[in-house]
Amino acid sequence: MTPTQATTTQKTTTPDTTRTTTTGAPPAAAPRTEDVAAALHRARDHLLDLQSPEGWWKGELQTNVTMDAEDLLLREFLGVRTADDTAEAARWIRSQQRADGTWANFHDGPPDLSTTIEAYVALRLAGDPVDAEHMRRAAAYVRDAGGIEASRVFTRIWLALFGQWSWDDLPVMPPEMVFLPSWFPLNVHDWACWARQTIVPLTVVCALRPVRPLPFDLPELRTGRRPRRAKDAWGHAFGALDRALHVYQRRPVRTLRTAALRRAAEWIVARQEADGSWGGIQPPWVYSLMALNLLGYDLEHPVMRRGLDGLDRFTIRDATGRRLEACQSPVWDTVLAVTALADAGLPADHPALLRAAGWVLDEEVRGPGDWSVRRPFLPPGGWAFEFDNDIYPDTDDTAEAILALRRTAHPDAGPAIRRAVRWLTGMASRDGGYGAFDADNTRVLCTRLPFCDFGAVIDPPSADVTAHVVEALCGEGLAGSRVVRRAVVWLLNAQEPDGSWFGRWGANHVYGTGSVVPALVAAGVRRDRPAIRRAVAWLEAHQNPDGGWGEDMRSYDDPAWIGRGVSTPSQTAWALLALLAAGERSAAVDGGVGWLVRNQREDGTWDEDHFTGTGFPGDFYINYHLYRLVFPVSALGRYLEEAMP
Which residues are the active-site residues? 396
What is the torsional sign of CA 631, 635, 641, 644? negative
Tell me the sheet residues that pair with 624.
61
Nearest to 336 by CA among 634, 642, 639, 640: 634
| DSSP reduced 3-state for 622 | strand
| DSSP reduced 3-state for 459 | strand
| Amino acid at the residue 576 | L
The contacts of residue 442 (CB under 8 Å, 6+ apart) are: 429, 435, 458, 460, 461
Cβ–Cβ contacts within 10 Å for residue 281, how many?
22
| Amino acid at the residue 638 | R
- Cβ distance 352 to 404 under 8 Å? no
Maximum pairwise Cα distance, the chain? 78
Read off the DSSP letter of residue 278. B
Report H helices in 318-412: 330-343, 351-362, 395-405
| DSSP reduced 3-state for 6 | coil
Nearest to 364 by CA among 384, 378, 379, 392: 384
Cα torsion 212, 213, 215, 216 to 10°: value is 140
Q: How far is CA 479 from the centre of its chain?
A: 29
Q: How far is CA 288 from the centre of its chain?
A: 20
Q: How far is CA 475 from the centre of its chain?
A: 26
- Cβ distance 535 to 547 under 8 Å? no
Nearest to 249 by CA among 331, 166, 184: 166
